[in-house]
Amino acid sequence: MDEGNFSASDDMVEEFDDSLPHVTYYTDGKGNWLKRVWAVQCSETTLFRDRCQGVAGHKGDHWCFRPDGSYLYKPHETDPQRKEIGCAIIPPGSSGYRTPLEMSRYRHGTFYEESEVTEPREIERLQRGEFAPNESANLPCTEEQIEGLRKLGRLDSDAQELRRERSASLKYQIKDFSKKSTITDIETRFDADVERFSNLETGQSATIDAPLAMQLITEAAVRLTPQIDRILDIGCGAGNNILKLKEVYGKPFACDLLDLSRPMLDRAKERVLQAGIKTVELWQHDFRDASLPVESYDVILAAAVLHHLRDDQDWQATFEKILSLLKPGGSVWITDLVVQETVPIHELMWSRYGNYLESLSGTEYREKVFKYIAREDSPRPITYQLELLRRVGFAHVELLHKNSCFAAFGAWKE
């Protein structure tokens, strides 16, 4: 347990210069020290002298959140969209409100570098409790201090500790990505599966409610992005989603088809040209590596593809890239396999999905699908993905449909 942060000792009384980074030292009380250097906080203030909560040098509004959740901002010289508006307080739910989650990527407290303290003289200084004005230390509590906190009722009860431990054990997570399929493995599998994915109605039979999800994302794309000139289909397969969007939209548009599999791309191009789409560009790439044109697409589709992403950095970088490729006012629409946040509910939904697969083609088919999902996929909860879409900067997110382990959802770029 930590006693808290300790600031400069009495023999170091000079004032802290807040233009310098703050440094926090952490120790286990056994001579081991960790050094964390925090990013410098932006020096600007908003209304009522509230300090901007962004990291120094950030882009966009100068901003801060007050205890009631209000978002305060004033214009920033690098944000032309805000120059003519001026300072304002925006309460939650109002147009222009930014959530704390959305702004967390700019918050100074989320930027830091850590290193282990190994230099003997530095360790001796820290052990003596000599800290500079921009330094503090997080030290273990003594037994006397723990007893004092217990008497004050400030320690968690045994029941609270048990609930916290159970909460941690409930969280569903994939811990090992090293045994997952490589990009080449995935490409090879889809090269051999073109015919199955070339059927608009049954091409995704292993996906619950696939026809409904495809109908929903294409109709939502047209409703939220009424002028569609150019579309990107990530993991386009044999082109089913583009064909459905063409059917719903009813007007011409250009489309960029991206997939790992060349046979899939060739079949998709053939089918969309036959459907009357005259401008088609093919991208045989991993989306993460493709040099796609920034702010060029009115709509981006990603059906049954994002579950191949791996760690948190992979997911965030992909969602940020999607945002950067959309024109202002553009939207992205996703259908995909998802997991649940907690293990018991995941097991429940997985059992229901297994029953669905058995109803299609029996026990062997269920085991076959489960086997390649375990080997190839690393999906995330729908809650995780919706929060991440907001965090990277999408103004609005929409959950269109969820049934068991599958969801259809999207987001709109301001």
The 10s digit of each residue's pLDDT in 251-298 is: 999 999 999 999 999 999 999 999 999 999 999 999 999 999 999 999
3-state helix, strand, coil in the chain (%, to 5): 40, 25, 40
The answer to whether the beta carbons of residues 371 and 176 sit under 8 Å apart is no
Which three-class secondary structure state does DSSP give residue 386? Answer: helix
What is this structure's pTM?
0.70
The strand ranges marked E within 149-275 are 230-234, 254-259
CA distance 8 to 175: 40
What does pLDDT average to over the chain?
87
> 306-344: per-residue pLDDT in tens?
999 999 989 999 999 999 999 999 999 999 999 999 999
pLDDT for residue 86: 66
CB 116, CB 34: distance < 8 Å = yes
Question: Which of the pair, 169 or 398, is modelled with greater confidence?
Answer: 398
pLDDT of residue 201: 55
- Could you tell me the CA-to-CA distances from 238 to 90, 197, 241, 250, 349 in Å, in that order? 46, 6, 9, 20, 29
Instruction: Report the pLDDT value the prediction gives residue 4, as an integer from 0 to 100.
Output: 47
DSSP line for 347-378: HHHHHHHHHHHHHHH-HHHHHHHHHHHHHH--
Q: Give residue for tokens 């990291």.
A: 55
In the chain the domains, ranked by start, together with CATH numbers, are: 2-39+111-155 (no CATH), 47-109 (no CATH), 183-412 (3.40.50.150)
